[in-house]
Amino acid sequence: MIISVASGKGGTGKTSVAVNLALLWAEDKNIQFLDCDVEEPNANIFLKCPLDKKEKLNLLKPVIDSDKCIYCQKCAQVCIYNAIAIVSPRPPQTKGKALVFYELCHSCGACSLVCPAGAITETEVEKGVVEEGQCGNIHFIRGLLRESESSPTPLVKAVKKKIDPRKDVIIDASPGTSCPVVEAVEGSDYTVLVTEPTPFGLHDLRLAVEMCRGLKIKFGVVINRSDLGGRQVYDYLKKEEITLLSEIPFSHELAYRYSQGKTFVDLAELKEIFVALKEKIEAEV
């Protein structure tokens, strides 16, 4: 099965839940852990897997030859992402200008196909890297977006291509509900939404719930730092008939362990919580 862990709001403890759930899952079977938070992949701070395999992800980007360009606007018209702008020449000028906004380009190749003058070629640009390693029963895979690059979704797709259908998979998605999060959780058998009992936590949880419902993915909620904040999240879950999978109370000891890059499932009380969480997920799926 494929279990994704998302949060809506950042800082709720999503990665902590994903990592410790994976460690528990891997006690009796081989699994995969996919860190799809490619802009800030930090799960390996806790798993500490040696990353001995790296693959670059290169995407094609258009290059426009101004000597060949006839400024017909066809490339700009076909680009649904508005990544190309053509400024036609105006007398007494004999040349216009072709602008490519690489941050908006999705490497679809449509512009080069429709160019009647053959003025557009494509060149490879590094998007990021996919790194892999093995630690115990966990096959760890993560994407690392190159600095200055935008649009992490293609790198998330590259990480998910590594999924082994013979193994259970834990996916750590990025915060929010934008395109890379949708890409990360899509195709999951179940999504664990991690939140906190605060107004911001509730606001972003609502967005994450609507995302899962839109994707038709089964989901449940873990409330972290459950003994802090108010009851609004609990009232929302009851009203919407959403499964409360687990509650993790605030603990200075857990915060200290987290700051040292240590995991929680070796603590008896926390292991009991994660065992119950794992059993609930399996029952829900």
What tens digit of pLDDT does each residue of 107-127 get?
999 999 999 999 999 999 999
Whether residue 19 is predicted with pLDDT greater than 80 in this model: the reply is yes
The first and second tokens of residue 132, run together, are 């892999």
**What is the pTM (predicted TM-score) of this model?**
0.91
CATH 3.40.710.10 given to domain 2-58+127-284? no
Which pLDDT value is given to residue 251?
A: 87
Distance CA 178, CA 160 (A): 17
How does pLDDT run across 216-261, given as a tens digit for each residue?
999 999 999 998 888 999 999 999 999 999 999 998 888 898 899 9
Q: Which fold has domain 66-118?
A: Alpha-Beta Plaits (3.30.70)
The first and second tokens of residue 21, run together, are 């759930």
Which pLDDT value is given to residue 202?
A: 96
Q: Residue 161 — very low, low, confident or very high, per pLDDT cuts 50/70/90?
A: very high
Output Rg (C-alpha) for the chain, integer angstroms: 23
Which pLDDT value is given to residue 285?
A: 86
| Residue 277 DSSP class | H
Q: Residue 91 — very low, low, confident or very high, per pLDDT cuts 50/70/90?
A: confident
Mean pLDDT throughout 71-94?
91
Q: For the chain, what is the mean pLDDT?
A: 94
Domain residue spans in the chain? 2-58+127-284, 66-118
Q: Residue 23 — very low, low, confident or very high, per pLDDT cuts 50/70/90?
A: very high
Same fold, 2-58+127-284 and 66-118: no
Cβ-proximal residues to 165 (8 Å cutoff; 6+ apart), any chain: none
Q: At what angle do helices 199-215 and 232-240 cross, to 10 degrees?
A: 20
Q: Residue 266 — very low, low, confident or very high, per pLDDT cuts 50/70/90?
A: confident
Q: What's the Cα-to-Cα distance from 106 to each of 83, 114, 142, 150, 231, rounded to whole Å? A: 8, 16, 21, 10, 43
Whether residue 94 is predicted with pLDDT greater than 80 in this model: the reply is no
167 phi and psi angles, rounded to 5 deg: -120, 155
Of 77 and 264, which is predicted with more confidence?
77
Neighbours of 207 (CB within 10 A): 14
Which residues make beta-bridge pairs with 54? 131
